[in-house]
Amino acid sequence: MGVLGRFMVGVTKCMPKFFIASVARRYVAGKDIESAVTVMRKLSSEGACFTIDVLGEEISNLEEAQFFIDEYDRVLDAIVENNLDANLSIKPTAFGLLIDEMKAYDNIERLLRKAAENEIFVRLDMEDYRVTQPTIDIVLAMHEKGLHNVGTVLQSRLFRTSADIDAICDKLGGAADFRICKGVYLEHESISLTEYQTIVEAMNSHIDQILDRSAYAGVASHDWPVIKHTLSALEARGMSPSNPDPRDGCSVNRNGKGPGYEFQMLLGVRGNIRRRLAKDGHRTRIYVPYGERWYEYSMRRLDENPDVAMYIVKSIFMPWTNRR
């Protein structure tokens, strides 16, 4: 599938922008927060909750960071005003992490404090290998400041992820909160796994590890082998949507969260599986990106992981396999 995916990336990039826009509408909520609110209101009827992401990441100067500061303020206001069951996802590089680390800390702390006032959780998205440790360091530093409404994403394809889970849990105990995913960044084979099956096996192992460390597990996957493994792992530990989290050390207040876990999926991808999980009572969260930079986001995701193109192919020619 990798070769075919790379071929489809080349084909996709030759298509007119208006055609890409017609496809992207499935995966991007729109250009502004108002459009995202409309999408979330519609999907709320399916029992979903949401993570909102303003498109755009690494910036070239600190002035650009102000856009993200202002826009996320608007997002927080929209969540409160519309009574949405939603939290935030932010990319630390959009707040200046690779330009001025201390300024980025200040920018992120300000956002976290405003979010905490309304009991809204903030997820630090994980970018490429350059900022893996700095992103983890931000989470730990914010918890030390008493801001517990923050967690990070970890990518199972990276060799270091198991050690990162232990290190974070050693520091935060039951307050550790992860979104665990395969990882969209195709890193060098010296630091990451590169084959689908080994990445799936690693992710299943990481899910077990997170559950056994009494941390919160946001399982971000559209792969049935991962979802099936998670359901079995939950059952083996006495965890279910209808019971409180039975694990030791899980007395942490997790407003807007599930009983120790939830399933997370991208907007527009595998809605049939998400609805099945929600019907069975599991908390399901949809990742909702929006913004003016939808085209750059779409092309970048294709470059980083050509296999993503297969979702596009299936949505065009076999739409019944991928209902929103």
pLDDT, tens only, 228-237: 999 999 999 9
- Which pLDDT does position 27 carry in this prediction? 81
The answer to the question of residue 7 being in a domain is no
How many residues does the structure list for the chain?
Answer: 324
- Which pLDDT does position 233 carry in this prediction? 98
Instruction: Identify which of 73, 5, 79, 81 has the alpha carbon closest to the alpha carbon of residue 40.
Output: 79
- Interaxial angle between packed helices 101-117 and 132-144, expressed in degrees from 0 to 180 and rounded to the nearest 10: 50
Q: Residue 63: which H helix or E strand, with range?
A: helix 62-81
- Which pLDDT does position 309 carry in this prediction? 58
Q: How far apart are CA 137 and CA 110, in angstroms?
A: 17
The answer to the question of residue 313 being in a domain is no
Domain range for residue 260? 29-290
Q: Which two tokens stand for residue 55?
A: 């498109």
**Chain centroid offset of residue 143 CA:** 20
Residue type, 252: V
| Cβ atoms of 198 and 163 closer than 8 Å | no
Helix (H), strand (E) counts: the chain = 12, 8
Q: What are phi and psi of 300, to 5 degrees?
A: -65, -40
Q: What are phi and psi of 263, to 5 degrees?
A: -105, 135
pLDDT higher at 60 or 20: 60
Rounded average pLDDT over 38-55:
95
The answer to the question of residue 3 being in a domain is no
Q: How many domains does the chain have?
A: 1
CATH number of 176's domain: 3.20.20.220
pLDDT in tens, 80-135: 999 999 999 999 999 999 999 999 999 999 999 999 999 999 999 999 999 999 99
The answer to the question of residue 124 being in a domain is yes
pLDDT band at 187 (very low <50, low <70, confident <90, very high): confident
Q: How far apart are CA 52 and CA 141, in angstroms?
A: 23
| Cβ atoms of 108 and 142 closer than 8 Å | yes
Instruction: Indicate if the pLDDT at residue 176 is higher than 90.
Output: yes
The answer to the question of residue 49 being in a domain is yes
The answer to the question of residue 311 being in a domain is no
The answer to the question of residue 178 being in a domain is yes
Q: What are phi and psi of 284, to 5 degrees?
A: -125, 135
- Which pLDDT does position 28 carry in this prediction? 87
